[in-house]
């Protein structure tokens, strides 16, 4: 009997190798094939072409349920962070599960409303540069909460609400000056960052907001960064938020919500050993303990933790190349399709879609690169992989978050299609672009 290769812990069971089958009697072949749910990835590559983003609905559901189980003892709402992956098919799936949404632009708000207009009442609007037009659209939609990030924004929001004769529910995003062990581009919780207001200024701004008949104080918000894999920074930030909540209530303000932000990381390393259920339990404990006795409704903004491991970027090997002993595997995906390695020097595990059984001992150290005319167009440097050949399929794992949303048309490359798999069902949730699509807005 063929042995299934060990699946790395921490990833949902959606992406796993299953024995290949062939022939009239469905005889097992001597290889294992990577599947998404019950669908073999080679079938998707043949049908939809490559590069191709493949998402698992079951993996997304499992992660949402894991959050709800971990926070079941406190009133809470999952406000999925749309910036992680804004595909309408995924937003509809999450809306049907009762999720709210965290948006950072008017465009993201329109996506949420397009997915399910009834979800507006569970939307929080974050971001340091909200325009008056965006504020007015959010007020008309009837969103749950504005996370206000500056004194100037507070004034603009009050003016917009007065103009529309609406009441804007607000929370100030407080910058707790808590360092997070993450990439400096995605750390947001220090005073040197552009986000939020200093804790020392918050009480004065809440007092100012209470003087406006068109602003309603409803909560306190915090967010210290993204891809954080230690829970201690979350606990420290929440301790400072809890202290502020007590001070604000002593000042006479009603605080119903604490928005804890997002930022919980996932494991991208194949050697990871921590199960997601353990990570989310520790995260929940870090957030909930400091809030004990405050009787607030907790808002959570997971993004990457929901969709990151639920997606892969499927790509085909175009060429093999040698330069004075240096080996390159050139694939048809590029930095315009998945920017994270070039932008953050981020690690993504890369695996062959077909593997021999038993596994071949032949391995080699290669650079996995794309076709774009940039040296920064790479997915891995000096990565040890099983030997692959031209025409083989590779899967770049954990690409469900900050993949397609960061894609571009650099080199006039068309962006990939996206498919959502659930069991044996496959649905195209974004068709592949054509060059005509790119040219039609130009004159």
Burial class (CB in 10 A: 0-12, 13-18, 19+), 17: buried
DSSP secondary structure letter of residue 63: H
Distance separating alpha carbons of residues 161 and 171, to the nearest angstrom: 15
Long-range CB contacts (< 8 A, 24+ apart) of 358-366? 358/3, 359/5, 359/386, 360/386, 360/387, 362/386, 362/387, 363/387, 364/327, 365/327, 366/327, 366/328, 366/329
36, 79, 99, 373: which one is catalytic? 373
Q: Name 299's bridge partners.
A: 77, 259
Run of H or E including 207: helix 199-210
- DSSP 3-state of 113: helix
Annotated catalytic residue 373: yes
- DSSP 3-state of 236: helix
Distance separating alpha carbons of residues 398 and 379, to the nearest angstrom: 13
* Strand 52-56 versus strand 417-422 pairing type: parallel
Q: Is the dihedral of CA 321, 323, 326, 330 positive or negative?
A: negative
- Phi and psi torsions of 331, nearest 5°: -115, 170
Query: Cβ(402)–Cβ(304) under 8 Å?
Result: yes
Write out the two tokens for 100.
């709210």
Task: Write a three-state SS string for 158-185.
Answer: HHHHHHHCCCEEEEEEEECCCCCCCCHH
The residues carrying an active-site annotation are 373
């Amino acid at each position: 009997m063929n042995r299934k290769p060990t699946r790395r812990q921490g990833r949902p069971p959606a992406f796993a190798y299953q024995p290949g089958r062939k022939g009239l009697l469905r005889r097992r072949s001597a290889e294992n094939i990577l599947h998404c749910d019950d669908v073999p990835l080679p079938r998707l590559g043949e049908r939809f072409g490559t590069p191709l983003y493949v998402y698992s609905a079951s993996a997304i559901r499992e992660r949402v349920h894991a959050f709800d189980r971990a926070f079941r003892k406190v009133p809470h709402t999952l406000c999925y962070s749309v910036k992680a992956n804004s595909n309408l098919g995924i937003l509809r799936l999450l809306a049907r599960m009762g999720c709210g949404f965290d948006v950072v632009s008017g465009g993201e708000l329109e996506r949420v409303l397009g997915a399910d207009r009834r979800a507006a009442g569970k939307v929080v609007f974050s971001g340091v540069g909200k325009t008056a037009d965006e504020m007015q659209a959010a007020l008309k939609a009837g969103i749950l909460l504005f996370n206000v990030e500056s004194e100037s924004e507070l004034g603009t929001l009050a003016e917009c609400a007065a103009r529309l004769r609406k009441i804007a529910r607000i929370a100030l995003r407080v910058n707790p000056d808590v360092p997070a062990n993450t990439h400096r581009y995605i750390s947001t919780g220090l005073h040197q960052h552009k986000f939020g207001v200093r804790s020392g200024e918050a009480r004065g701004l809440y007092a100012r907001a209470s003087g406006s008949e068109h602003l309603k104080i409803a909560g306190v918000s915090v967010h210290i960064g993204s891809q954080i894999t230690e829970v201690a920074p979350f606990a420290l930030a929440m301790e400072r938020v809890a202290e502020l909540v007590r001070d604000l209530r002593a000042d006479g303000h009603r605080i119903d919500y604490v928005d804890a932000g997002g930022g919980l990381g996932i494991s991208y390393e194949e050697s990871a050993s921590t199960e997601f259920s353990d990570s989310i339990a520790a995260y929940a404990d870090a957030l909930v303990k400091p809030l004990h006795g405050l009787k607030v409704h907790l808002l959570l903004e997971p993004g990457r933790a929901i969709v990151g491991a639920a997606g892969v970027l499927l790509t085909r090997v175009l060429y093999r190349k040698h330069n004075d002993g240096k080996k390159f595997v050139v694939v048809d995906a590029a930095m315009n399709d998945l920017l994270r390695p070039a932008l953050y020097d981020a690690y993504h595990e890369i695996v062959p879609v077909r593997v021999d059984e038993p596994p071949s001992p032949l391995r080699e150290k290669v650079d996995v690169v794309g076709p774009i005319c940039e040296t920064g167009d790479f997915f891995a440097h000096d990565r040890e992989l099983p030997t692959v050949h031209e025409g083989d399929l590779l899967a770049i794992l954990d690409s469900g978050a900050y993949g397609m949303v960061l894609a571009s048309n650099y080199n006039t490359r068309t962006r990939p299609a996206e498919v959502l798999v659930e069991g044996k069902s496959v649905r195209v949730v974004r068709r592949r672009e054509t060059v005509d699509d790119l040219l039609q807005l130009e004159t």
